Amino acid sequence: MSALNFGIVRALLAGVVAITLWQVLVWATDIPHFILPGPARVALSLWTNAPLLWEHAQFTLFNLLTGMAAGISLGIVTALNLALSPGARLLLRPMLVFAQAVPVFALAPILTLWLGYGAASKTVIVMLVIYFPITSSYFDGLMRLPAPLTDLAQQMQASPIRRLYLLQIPHARPALFSGLRLAVVYAPFAVIIGEWVGSSRGLGYLMLMANGRGQTDLMFAALMVLAAMSLILFGLVERLAKERGPV
């Protein structure tokens, strides 16, 4: 059996065990379904509310993807600029450190105030949340060119831009992937927070609405869809890292 298949089998097995435990917990404790619905009830809700979930999931996924695309590209561009220009390092780095100290989630209400209830505020929150991990891990990777390669660049009289392109960028690829891994973990958080703070669509909105109406099973169903989305994103990054990441 290949490693990939084995991984899938293991994940499925873990899933089955978790669902069984969940069902056992619900049966054993007799928790009311509006507090903790059992897996069967959630599955039923997933099935009956599929069109509703799909509609809201599309909005969330769109925000997630645009925010990630913006955050990743902005992070990469910033890191490259920092690596290339000592002047930029002098100016931007303290700003980055300061900005990192601000909990971006706390900006969500302000961003909603400024950008409204639509997609823009969510995109920006996701972008801001993943921007720092991407920038700092990629920048670190770019700056940590091993001494023998630094010597090589100097010996071959490489210009800073060729040194960046031919040595630093390939060397920093694993670091970029560790930034990407963090980004896929943070981004779903960020998009949901954005939708909780103010939205008329999306899985976050749906969860709040379901909560208000006591439809705990729908809340859980939305959570499942979000978890599936995160897992798929994470899997994609892992796969990309396996193909392109090492060295």
Q: Is 167 in the site for other proteins (CB under 8 A)?
A: yes
**Residue among 50, 229, 80 at smallest CA distance from 140:** 80
Contact region with other proteins (CB under 8 A), list: 22-30, 33-41, 153-161, 221-229: 153-161
CB of 164 to other proteins, least distance (A): 11
DSSP labels for 100-127?
HHS-GGGGHHHHHHHH-SSHHHHHHHHH
Q: Which residues does 146 contact at the CB level (< 8 Å), separation at least 6?
A: 171
How far is the C-alpha of 200 from the C-alpha of 217, rounded, in Å?
20
How far is the C-alpha of 247 from the C-alpha of 166, rounded, in Å?
13
Q: Is the CB of 144 or the CB of 162 nearer to other proteins?
A: 162
Q: Is 163 in the site for other proteins (CB under 8 A)?
A: yes
Give the footprint of other proteins on residues 170-189 (CB under 8 A): 170-171, 173
Among 52, 74, 143, 158, binds other proteins (CB under 8 A): 158
Q: Is the CB of 73 or the CB of 150 nearer to other proteins?
A: 150
Contact region with other proteins (CB under 8 A), list: 7-15, 33-41, 75-83, 143-151: 143-151
Among 46, 76, 143, 149, binds other proteins (CB under 8 A): 149
Give the footprint of other proteins on residues 197-236 (CB under 8 A): none
Q: Under a CB-based contact definition with an 8 Å cutoff, are residues 207 and 72 in contact? A: no
Q: Which residues does 110 contact at the CB level (< 8 Å), separation at least 6?
A: none
Q: Is the CB of 33 or the CB of 162 nearer to other proteins?
A: 162
CB of 165 to other proteins, least distance (A): 9
Contact region with other proteins (CB under 8 A), list: 20-28, 121-129, 152-160, 217-225: 152-160
Q: Under a CB-based contact definition with an 8 Å cutoff, are residues 140 and 175 in contact? A: yes
Lookup: tokens for 92: 């931007």
Q: How many CB atoms lie within 10 A of CB 163?
A: 20
Q: Is the CB of 103 or the CB of 246 nearer to other proteins?
A: 246
Tell me which DSSP letter residue 247 carries. Answer: -
CB of 246 to other proteins, least distance (A): 9
How far is the C-alpha of 55 from the C-alpha of 62, rounded, in Å?
11
Q: Is the CB of 5 or the CB of 157 nearer to other proteins?
A: 157
CB of 144 to other proteins, least distance (A): 13
Q: Under a CB-based contact definition with an 8 Å cutoff, are residues 53 and 177 in contact? A: no
Q: Site residues (CB under 8 A) for other proteins? A: 146-149, 151-159, 162-163, 166-167, 170-171, 173, 247
